[in-house]
Structure 1
Amino acid sequence: MDMPEFENGHKLLHIAMFPWIGMGHVTTFLHLGNELSQRGHRISFLLPMKALVKLDHNHDHSHPIKFHILNVPHVDGLPPGAETCSDIDDNLTEKNPLAVAFDAMSEQVEALLRSLNPDIVFYDFAHWIPRLAAVIGFKTVCYNTVSASCMSYTVVPARRIPKDRMMTAEELAEPPEGYPSSTVVLRGQEGLMMSFICEDYGDVKFDVRMSTALWGCDAIGVRTCSEMEGPMCEYVSRQYGKPVILTGPVLPRVQEEVPLEEKWDTWLSKFDEKSVVYCAFGSQTILQKKQFQEMLLGFEMTGLPFIVAMSKPHGADTIEEALPEGFTERVGGRGVVHGGWVQQTQILNHPSVGCFVSHCGFGSMCESLMSDAQIVAVPQFGDQVLNARLMAAELKVAVEVERGEMGWFSKEDLSNAVKSSVMDVGSDVGEIVRENHAKWKETFVAPKFMDDYIDRFIKQLYHL
């Protein structure tokens, strides 16, 4: 029989992780798993095979994480072979069939957890995990991949949507009682959030799913830092009456040792320092073809070199088919539109890159603050709206593109945000953003900043 290993008088923990099967969630859990594994803790990771295949460039293979494969059952509306959010088109269904399949995996998950017998289980959308904890006997952490600002605004008990109707835009625009910010709000962009928070995730509305997940856990984990969102974290803790424990940004260290792919390094190196605009909206953000084309025309209008890494839009079979007429000939060699994955960390830190146009996923926001690339925020839905307000209005480290109520923006608005506010030297807004950005980068890259957060997080896990 194996004897338990100890560190500083504590038995090393066995932690099981079961995130929602969107790749942004899976990779965030994995980055934390890598950090915990580096410190000797045993990590069991539950996920479908397709998600594991997509993880290869994020996995620190020098530290063992045991992956356990789950079968995604077929349910009505789920395309054959679909196992992650990247495999489905959310716009084509009223009810997310992947969420139905996700909940249908509960028996598989229960059997695995009984076999593994972990000390703690980390989860997010699986609101039924606390029920298993009561039967099997483990502690639970509801680990959130979104910002504390988003949690404070949308999933605290006061924000629960009435069961007999959808919340109105006016109600959603009004911050909940005691909310600790006057700037991180939805006013003017309620439409971008309504479809997100009011939608059905399987047989459960999103806000009910998340409130249940948070009420049932032993501790709430958040990938943020108190320097950035301390009052928001305290607010969530008061609302749910339980500890909120922070991991810090948890960015992938393994990327530091991997050089940028030669073809991208060669292309970027053709341009002057800090002159290139890089744009990425994440694998789950798919624009309508008209908006996709308007965005590309906006980059063309800047006159700056640019690289866009984005999924093909709705209504197009390929990226090339979706390009505006004559676009390739007009931009020549100064613009690249790529439909696949790229090494974002390395691109952001390339000397030629000066601006990052982002959908404002929280991981990308933290990642960009560790680079010198200035941030232009173009949130598309859900938590991204509040992240953009946090960065642009509260921390003043980004410029948010002006847009209409439902999130549409013009080529002129995008070009102005990139060029006049961020890239032009001498712009008042640009100078404020650059100065604040530099301060946050100094904080994030300070020696032991990340390590200290993880070490404190582990101590708080022992308190459970």
Structure 2
Amino acid sequence: MSTGDGVASTRPAPHFVLVPMMAAGHTGPMLDMARVLASRGALVTLVTTPLNLPRLTRALADATTLPIRYLPLRFPCAEAGLPEGCESADAIPNHALLKNFHSACAMLRAPLVDHLTKKADDPPVRCIVSDTCHPWTGPAARDLGVPRLAFDCFCAFSSFCMRLMSSHAIFDGVDDDHQPVRVPGFPIHFELSRARSPGNFTGFGKEFADAVMAENARADGLVLNSFLELEPLFVGAYEAAIGKKVWTVGPLFLASSSKPSTTTASTEDTNAVLCARWLESKEPRSVVLVSFGSLVRSSLPQLVEIAHGLEATNRPFVWAVKPGNHAAFERWMAEDGFEARVGERGLVVRGWAPQTAILSHPATSVFVTHCGWNSVLECVAEGLPMVTWPHFAEQFMNEKLVVDVLRVGVAVGVKDAARWGVETEDAVAATRQDVESAVADVMDGGEEARARRDRAAELGRKARVAVVDGGSSCRSVELLVQHVQQKKFTA
């Protein structure tokens, strides 16, 4: 990210403490935020846990010359009723323990404040930037007498929408889970059913969401991994509604000095090398990428539908598969002969795939995505259209933004949200015909498809200007640092 001519050169750089949510989709953007702040001369302390520390240091291996350091705090698994080793949301064995995980995170408040208070030889902490899923950091910041900025891994569209849904309790008195309900106060007409909404309107989900909303309201501002040109209407409306600054600083991954590349992958990284070699053999803008992120685990019947749908497209494809039942999936693959039939036209990658590298490859043409915000941003930055297949959380809201507002995607037609962490053995949300039809609409849709691709390419250009070429996200970071420097330290 460009350093520009901001005030960082004339004032002492502040000390930021960053508290990421330890989950795959949340940690990455916060690490990129650490790079961005440190590249402007700020001292950055990253709060983590012993088991997560090696992952963070590996992820920031390219940033060893930047003023970034780590604060590993013991994670109280036993005290919170968690199995040992559950130091990230991805390690939780079942959904019922999510409450315990958040309770364990909240127990970090006292040791964090204690450590930061006693480090008298360090530059004093001037700001805490924490994931919105850590409402306990609001009281911690007040203990230290410093501002807290809430870091939201969602876009303004979805974050603002969820705030309105919660504050207006839009599903109160609605008995039908599939009845669309209008979101009041939203800049555009938008209806959502309970069945397609995030699971934060009952029980612990509501309690936790209310705590998050309350602390966001007390925060000094909101930081979003988005860029102004992508959703100016929603950023402006969000700021006006909450009466606080919304800092758009993304797409943050573009600010990293270590750009992912399939052609420079380590030979030890089998999947990356495999994908690189396979992609090099394909024509430009011919490949379909299918990937549903780190948390989605699909049922065997659903995987069968995806496989046959991809086969019917007659297009080259990379399919990153994370089955709910690995053994059953491998048995089906062996018995059906799918890989033998598609041959070199298809590449099935078990588990992790180098998503950003695949999206940035000239051979890739379209992304079939679960609409997690990180994945949407990665696709937007590469200027590619999408086939949208939301599963849970805010993903149906992201789909609305992609398909109806930005008009760079085609919906596969999923009706209801799945439940994260709960596998349904016979669940089929979209058929093979749905998959084939959506891919055809994006790749063979005539003038409409060309216009969609042109819009996607223009968004990709704007994303890079925002982050790399001194644009809106660069200026937003400059103003954020200036804002913190000018805040009075009250501890």
TM-score range, shorter chain: 0.7 to 0.9
Alignment of 1:34-73 (within 5 A): 34-55=35-56, 58-59=59-60, 60-61=62-63, 62-73=65-76
User: For the residues of structure 2 that align with 1:34 and 1:318, how far apart are their CA atoms?
Assistant: 42
User: For the residues of structure 2 that align with 1:429 and 1:79, how far apart are their CA atoms?
Assistant: 52
Q: Which one of 400, 409, 416 corresponds to residue 389 of structure 1?
A: 400
AA matched with 1:373: L
SS of equivalent residue, structure 1 residue 331? helix
- 2:4 matched residue in structure 1: none
User: For the residues of structure 2 that align with 1:321 and 1:64, how far apart are their CA atoms?
Assistant: 50
User: Does residue 1:186 correspond to 2:192, yes or no?
Assistant: yes
Select between 7-16 and 321-330 the one with higher mean Cα deviation: 321-330
Contact kept? 1:376, 1:398, Cα under 8 Å: yes
- 1:97 matched residue in structure 2: 100
Alignment of 1:288-307 (within 5 A): 288-307=299-318
User: Does residue 1:440 correspond to 2:454, yes or no?
Assistant: no
User: For the residues of structure 1 that align with 2:174 and 2:204, how far apart are their CA atoms?
Assistant: 14
Q: Deviations over 1:258-297 (max 9, x none)?
A: 5533432211112222111112222122223332332222
Q: Deviations over 1:137-188 (max 9, x none)?
A: 111101111011111111248536499x7975669843432210225x435x
Contact kept? 1:307, 1:335, Cα under 8 Å: yes
User: Does residue 1:85 correspond to 2:122, yes or no?
Assistant: no
- 2:324 matched residue in structure 1: 314
Gaps of 5+ in 1: 1-5
Change (3 A) 1:102 1:294: farther
User: For the residues of structure 1 that align with 2:56 and 2:336, how far apart are their CA atoms?
Assistant: 36
Q: Deviations over 1:177-203 (max 9, x none)?
A: 2210225x435xx413253554625xx
User: For the residues of structure 1 that align with 2:203 and 2:312, how far apart are their CA atoms?
Assistant: 36
Q: Deviations over 1:415-449 (max 9, x none)?
A: 1111x21122x524312211211211221223323
Q: Deviations over 1:380-410 (max 9, x none)?
A: 1111111111011001011111123456111
Contact kept? 1:298, 1:410, Cα under 8 Å: yes
How far is 1:31 from its partner?
Answer: 0.5
Alignment of 1:251-266 (within 5 A): 251-252=253-254, 253-256=256-259, 258-260=261-263, 261=265, 262-266=273-277
AA matched with 1:316: H
User: For the residues of structure 2 that align with 1:219 and 1:115, how far apart are their CA atoms?
Assistant: 27
- 1:461 matched residue in structure 2: 484
Percentage of identical aligned residues: 22
Q: Deviations over 1:217-244 (max 9, x none)?
A: 1112222222222222233323333222
**Normalising to structure 2: TM-score of the pair?**
0.83
SS of equivalent residue, structure 1 residue 309? strand
Contact kept? 2:248, 2:476, Cα under 8 Å: yes
- 1:332 matched residue in structure 2: 343
Higher relative contact order (CA 8 A, sep 6+): 2
- 2:143 matched residue in structure 1: 135
- 1:421 matched residue in structure 2: 441
Contact kept? 1:197, 1:382, Cα under 8 Å: no
Alignment of 1:323-362 (within 5 A): 323=333, 325-362=336-373
User: For the residues of structure 2 that align with 1:347 and 1:162, how far apart are their CA atoms?
Assistant: 40
Select between 121-130 and 249-258 the one with higher mean Cα deviation: 249-258
User: For the residues of structure 2 that align with 1:442 and 1:371, how far apart are their CA atoms?
Assistant: 8
Contact kept? 2:230, 2:459, Cα under 8 Å: no
- 1:15 matched residue in structure 2: 16
Q: Deviations over 1:288-320 (max 9, x none)?
A: 333233222222221222112243x22335863
AA matched with 1:14: H
Number of residues paired by the alignment? 449
- 2:125 matched residue in structure 1: 118
AA matched with 1:320: E
Q: Deviations over 1:47-86 (max 9, x none)?
A: 1233333345642324241111122222566333121122
SS of equivalent residue, structure 2 residue 231? helix
Change (3 A) 1:411 1:257: closer
Contact kept? 2:13, 2:43, Cα under 8 Å: yes
User: For the residues of structure 2 that align with 1:317 and 1:442, how far apart are their CA atoms?
Assistant: 43
User: For the residues of structure 2 that align with 1:347 and 1:34, how far apart are their CA atoms?
Assistant: 23
How far is 1:87 from its partner?
Answer: 1.2
Q: Which one of 375, 380, 384 corresponds to residue 364 of structure 1?
A: 375
User: For the residues of structure 2 that align with 1:126 and 1:166, how far apart are their CA atoms?
Assistant: 30
- 2:30 matched residue in structure 1: 29
User: For the residues of structure 1 that align with 2:417 and 2:294, how far apart are their CA atoms?
Assistant: 21
AA matched with 1:53: P
AA matched with 2:463: F
Alignment of 1:217-228 (within 5 A): 217-228=219-230
- 2:157 matched residue in structure 1: 149
SS of equivalent residue, structure 1 residue 200? helix
AA matched with 1:224: S
How far is 1:37 from its partner?
Answer: 0.6
- 1:409 matched residue in structure 2: 430
Contact kept? 2:260, 2:356, Cα under 8 Å: no
Q: CA RMSD in A?
A: 2.8
- 2:212 matched residue in structure 1: 210
AA matched with 2:101: L
Change (3 A) 1:356 1:110: same
User: For the residues of structure 1 that align with 2:112 and 2:8, how far apart are their CA atoms?
Assistant: 29
Gaps of 5+ in 2: 1-6, 266-272, 419-428
AA matched with 2:252: V
Select between 431-440 and 173-182 the one with higher mean Cα deviation: 173-182
How far is 1:89 from its partner?
Answer: 4.2
AA matched with 2:324: H
SS of equivalent residue, structure 2 residue 336? coil
SS of equivalent residue, structure 1 residue 155? helix
AA matched with 1:388: E
AA matched with 1:186: L
Change (3 A) 1:319 1:85: farther
Change (3 A) 1:169 1:15: farther
AA matched with 2:470: K
